Each structure stands twice: as C-alpha cells, then as structure tokens.
Chain A
Amino acid sequence: MYGGGNTFEGIKTDEVAQEDPILLAVFEARIARGEKIEPTDWMPQLYRKQLIRMIEQHGHSEIIGALPEGTWITRAPGFKRKMALMAKVQDEVGHAQLLYSAAETLGKSREQMIDDLITGKSKYSNIFNYPTFTWADCCFISWLVDAGAIVNQLANAKGSYGPYCRALDRICAEESFHLKYGHHCVIYLASGTQKQRDMFQAALNRWWPPMMHFFGPSDKISVHTEMLMKWKVKMGTNDDMRNQFLDMYVPKIWELGFVIPDANLKKNEETGRWDYTEPDWEEFKRVINGGGPCNKERLEVRRIAEERGKWVREALKTPRTKYVMPLA
C-alpha cells in the first residue's frame, strides 16, 4: 500500500542540461514509443535519482503501513478475520521486498534504504502516522487506504521503468484481495448493530482528512513535475489521482449510509470533477516532518526490530556470499 503524495524534489533543469543530448534523445524517444527502460540502459541522473526516491518511499510505505494494521491481528473479530488480516499484512511486507529489489537495480542497496528509513532521511506515506484506535480504523485502512494505493499503483504500473512495472504487476494482483477483504469488513460493520455503524462512522471521521492528504499536495502548490510526467516516472497529477479515487469510492461509502465529514464534497457536474474543502496542507507538512501522532512510534518499532534482528544476521553471516545488484 502506498500514497502518491511522495515528495519529489524541485527539479533543477540545469541538471538535465548537462546530460549528453544524443543519449537523452534516444532515451526520451524510447519512452515516447512506450518501451521500458531496463537497469543497464543509459538514463539521465535525474531519472535515476527520482525513481530511487519514489520506489524507495513506496517500499517504506508498505513496511510502515503494515504496523497500524498488524497491531490488530490478535484482536480481529474471529478466526477468519485473523487469518485474512495476517495474510494481508504478510502481503504488504512482501510488497516492500519486491519494491526494494526494484530500487536496488538502480544502484542503492537494500541496507542503505533500511538505514535511511530508520534515521528519517527517507519518507513514507504520511497516512501511517495516524493511530488505529478501533477495529473500524483497521477496516478503513484495509478498504480505503488500499483503494487509494491501488489508484496510484495501477497508474504507476504503466510507467517507464521495467523492474518497477513488473513488481507493480505482481503487487496489484494481490491488492485485489486486500480491497475485496476490506470492503467485506466494512459491509459487515455497516449492516451490523448501531454500535458497529457508529464505530465505522467515527473511523471515517478520523481518517478522511489524512485520506485526502494521501495523494499529495494540490497541483496548485506542488513542485513542477512536467519532466517526470514526460519520462513516465509520475503518471498523473496529485489532483487527478485524488479525483479518480473520489469518483470510485465516494459512491460506495455513501451507498453504505455513512456520512463523509466534508459538507462541500460533491461532484461538479460542469467540470466532471469533485469539489471539496481544500485539505489542510500545513497539517500535512507538519506530519511529514515528524509532527504526527505516531511518527516516533513507527520509526522506533522499525529500528528496534532491526536491532533485535542483529543476532540472526550475525548467526547467518558467511564470507561466501556477497551483496550485488540484482539483474532485472
């Protein structure tokens, strides 16, 4: 699972101006033809840098995203829900492995990525810095946060970098289970007792603002990404992705009789797009920079897991193997 609100650095066009113009033209023509770029192909430094950043953030989001859901495995209602949630969380951690591998083909080692997550140098999806108070919060993530992730992932699977696209094809196939499972959970809450309905409504109220943040800052204020769109690193603007999500899921939430906590939310028949209250982007920035309710806890859990795993790595250490970059 993953949010599109990844933070791209401001693009310095002079960085691209230093690239060999002939190689650059061949590279851009290949992307324009719809062909994939493979690890050993020539690519601009900026393309490599931004892809590593994006795929790495995606991988970290899978790892950290497994925490707010994983904490509910032991308390999920009934044996079936426990089995399903366990399988889902295992999938998410597996997704991280696939994504790290794809980023590694660009030249950053997995251990370096793990270290950069722990020290806070690399980011992950902002939404996982919020707590899951009740089972309904967990269901909100399984259904709607994964739904948002799928909107992003399906778009990115049509991107230009071969290893990332292949990883996403596998991931999207598994996400369909997450989505169905999540919706199933929410249907059961919706058609249950008043207490169950109230529980999901409360979760919806808590999670709606971070869900709107999930796709990243509005196009009006986000950095220029034309170059990244041309290179098929970024496959749609943040507002496009947000709009697609609203198109697909607002009707499904309303169908279940829940109230989305935004009085301005409605489809604008003229523009064909959704109107909504502008999300609080200051809050978004504050949380991304460490000020959210769970940032510290998430990174600490990850760091302590790494520290506690030391003896395992120690025990398995052998001079016969060597870390090398994956082939594809």
Chain B
Amino acid sequence: MNSLDPRVTRLPHIGEVGKIVPKASLDQFGTYEVFVQPKEGKPFQHEGIVHAPNLELAYVLAKETFTRRFTCTSLYVTDTRDVFVSPLTEGDKNAYDQITPSVATAGIKKQFEIYHLSKRGKQHVHAGSVEASSPEEAMSAAKQKFNQGKIVFNIWAIETNNIRFTSPDEQELWLTLPDKKFRDAAEYKGGDKLKNFLEAQSKA
C-alpha cells in the first residue's frame, strides 16, 4: 500500500484484499448487559451492552465504553443470558398483569435484582431485590412487592450472584473523571481569541 501515512505503508501483507474468513461461533464474544449508577443514592439503570470473552473483561470494557466521560458513581455487568425477561406491554397494559403468581417452592432462596421499564423508549431502572428459588418465582415475588398501580411495561430479574459488581476499593476508579478536562467541551473556549481576531480584522 502506498499511503500518506508511512505507518500504513509499512503494514504487513497478510490475507487477501477484500476477503475475510467468517468467524466461527466460538470465535465470537459473548454479550453482557451494563448497568450504571449516575449519582450517589440514585438507582442503577441499564446503559447498554458490551461483547467480551468473560464477565471480568466485560466489566473492564463497560468502564471504557460507558463511563469515559459522564460522571457516574458505580457500574456493574451481567451475562445477557442471565437476565430473565417478562413480556413487553404498551398503552395501559401492565407487564405485571401477565405474571402468574407462583406458589413459593421449597429450595434454597437466592436474591434477585428486579428492574422496571416505566416509560417506553427509556432505560430499565433498578426497582429493588427479592428472595426466590427461581427466576419465575422472583417475578411473582416482585409483583407482590413492587406492583403498586403504576404501569410497568417490562420487568427484568437477575440473580444477584450472577452480577459482577464494583467492589468498594474499586469505587475510586471514577473519581478521576472530573480531572480529565481535555475531554470536556467547556475546555475549548475560543471566544476571546475570536473576538480579538475580529477586532483586529475590522481595524485593518
């Protein structure tokens, strides 16, 4: 290749121009859902996804992708396959109405985190947690605990054990964000320079 950029010209010859071998399914990274806490005391909300080979790297990539600039206080990730999802409703239909109450079964109780979609088009927001022995039972328990007449269009339940949380000693990761002023629009005030320039122009 003959490029203006010598580093491009030096690129090694590998493979064939315009060709790529499609990746086998094992060669494709898994999908992880990312949740962010925008402010101290605020509930966590769904922010998006990353692809990663495992939960720990998903956490690292989530930090790079979603908390590079916006101030946030904490973040966690979970495998998309570990999110149990209710049907999606609209209008005046409450998703909780489609959850059939399940009789609590014996078995070891685990904790589940419950998320609500309260406005279509917005993010799922953390509502609280429940104890249950299965995701179905968690949905039913959530119906008892959180269904307070307000319409919820979609409910998610995630077993707490499957979430990679931010540990207290990692919390300070986000404290440096306000120092990175070069990433901030407010750092680029050209007003004075522009004014001086225009004044000099009009005199000339």
Contact = CB atoms under 8 A, between A and B. Distances in A.
B196 to A, nearest CB: 7
Interface string B49-80: 11111100100000011001110000000011
B48 interface: yes
Interface string B1-45: 101110110011011011110110111111101000000000000
Contacts of A328: 46, 123-124
Interface in A119-160: 119-120, 131-133
A91 B68 CA distance: 9
Interface residues of A, number: 75
B25 A323 contact: yes
B119 to A, nearest CB: 9
A320 B65 CA distance: 23
Contacts of B69: 173-174, 177
B90 A35 contact: yes
Given A180-B188, A183-B188, A326-B33, A162 B81 contact: no
A297 B1 contact: yes
A255 interface: yes
Nearest to B192: A187
Interface stretch (A4-12, A14-22, A50-58, A108-116): A108-116
Nearest to B49: A326
A46 to B, nearest CB: 21
A195 interface: no
A314 B29 CA distance: 11
Contacts of B186: 180
Contacts of B187: 180
A211 interface: no
Nearest to B83: A327
Contacts of B79: 321
Contacts of A296: 1, 17
Nearest to A100: B51
Contact of A109 (B28, B185, B189): B28
A179 B182 contact: no
The bracket for how many chain B residues form the interface is 35 or more
Contacts, number: 184
Contacts of B28: 109-111, 323
A12 B55 CA distance: 44
Interface stretch (A214-222, A233-241, A273-281, A305-313): A305-313
Interface in A18-41: 30, 35-36, 38, 40-41
A98 B81 CA distance: 20
Contacts of B194: 187, 191, 255-256
Contact of A318 (B25, B54, B183, B200): B54
Given A119-B20, A323-B31, 4 more contacts: A41-B90, A131-B4, A317-B27, A327-B156
22 contacts: A36-B120, A71-B8, A80-B182, A87-B180, A90-B68, A101-B50, A111-B22, A120-B18, A176-B185, A177-B185, A183-B190, A190-B197, A191-B196, A301-B8, A303-B15, A303-B17, A303-B19, A304-B12, A307-B15, A316-B53, A316-B57, A324-B31
Interface of A: 30, 35-36, 38, 40-41, 71, 80, 83-84, 87, 90-91, 94, 97-98, 101, 104, 109-112, 115, 118-120, 131-133, 162, 165-167, 170, 173-174, 176-177, 179-181, 183-184, 187-188, 190-191, 255-257, 296-297, 299-301, 303-304, 306-308, 313-314, 316-328
